Amino acid sequence: MAALTQPRSAVGTGLTVGVASTALDGRTSGDLHLVLPGAARSLLCVMDGLGHGPEAREAADECAAVLRLHPDEPLLDLVRSCHEGLRSTRGVAMTLATLDMCSGELEWVAIGNVEGMVLRPGQPPGTHHGAVIQRGGVVGYRLPPLKLSQVSLDPGDVIVMATDGIRGGFVSALDAALDPQRLAEDILRRFSKGTDDALALVARYDGGRT
């Protein structure tokens, strides 16, 4: 199973992102991320196409395509748009977030088992500043009652999203002060199950425009 890592990228004022992923078959991962930066609002998403291989990737790609078409929609409307657009696919689990780049207000929603949490440098190991509320379901097949979570970020806070190819409990070993790319690679190296596609997205909020 080959690891697929991506270089650190500053994707717009106030946000630095790192991603690390691996494909079970060494070629095609059904786990995908999308970051759409903006001066006012940035969108972040991690999608896990059901199963693995090309059909799982097709579902994740279709979900990303819908998000790109409607980046300014309210968060729950975006989920519903994805749900309609994925009905002919396997469907995906996903955590979807929007971040107000000026205020640091994060809104997010999770359908299925893509974890999402916010780490704050200086907090005790194993703790987090906030976590998304996960609801069972599959985007494209069965949506649960949707519930938004909100978290207020300070500059330096770190958003972490991870698919279920990453073992649970990884937050206990994370150092939020690490560079986002290094942290994403550390999560993948230490906590990948090795039995599924896996992806970790780490995004540090560096603050709004000055």
Percentage of residues in the chain having pLDDT higher than 70? 90
Does residue 210 lie within any of the structural domains?
no
Whether residue 86 is contained in a domain is answered as yes
**Domain tally, the chain:** 1
* Contact present, 50 and 92 (Cβ < 8 Å): yes
pLDDT at residue number 171: 81
Q: Which residue has the tokens 């980046």?
A: 71
- Of residues 200 and 9, the one with the higher pLDDT is 200
**Is 136 in contact with 144 (CB distance < 8 Å)?**
yes
Q: Is the pLDDT of residue 4 over 60?
A: no
Whether residue 142 is contained in a domain is answered as: yes
pLDDT interval class at 8 (50, 70, 90)? very low
Task: Note whether residue 91 is domain-resident.
Answer: yes
DSSP assignments along 113-147, one per residue: S-EEEEE-TTSPTT--SEEPPEE--BBTTBPPPP-
* Rounded Cα gap, residues 76 and 93, in angstroms: 15
Q: What is the pLDDT of residues 84-127, one digit of tens each?
A: 999 999 999 999 999 999 999 999 999 999 999 999 988 766 66
CATH number, position 149: 3.60.40.10
Taking residues 11-40, report their average pLDDT.
Answer: 90
Provide the residue range defining the domain that includes 176. 3-205
If one compares 13 and 68, the residue with the highest pLDDT of the two is 68
Residue 188: Cβ within 10 Å count: 23
**For 153, which DSSP code?**
P
Look at residue 194 and give its three-state secondary structure: coil
pLDDT at 168: 84
The strand pairing partners of 18, in sequence order, are 202
Q: Is 163 part of a structural domain of the chain?
A: yes
Please check whether residue 185 lies inside any domain of the structure. Answer: yes
Query: Is 153 part of any domain?
Result: yes
The residues pairing with 182 across neighbouring beta strands, listed in sequence order, are none
Question: Do 154 and 162 touch, CB atoms closer than 8 A?
Answer: no
Determine the average pLDDT of the residues in 76-82: 96
Give this prediction's pTM: 0.91
Mean pLDDT over the full length of the chain: 90
Q: Are 37 and 15 in contact (CB under 8 A)?
A: yes
Reading the block at residue 162, the tokens are: 């991870």
Per-residue confidence (pLDDT) for residue 13, from 0 to 100: 66
Q: What is the pLDDT, as a whole number, of residue 126?
A: 65
Average pLDDT over every residue of 141-166:
94
State pLDDT tens for residues 189-210: 999 998 899 999 999 999 865 4
Whether 84 and 76 have beta carbons less than 8 Å apart is answered as no
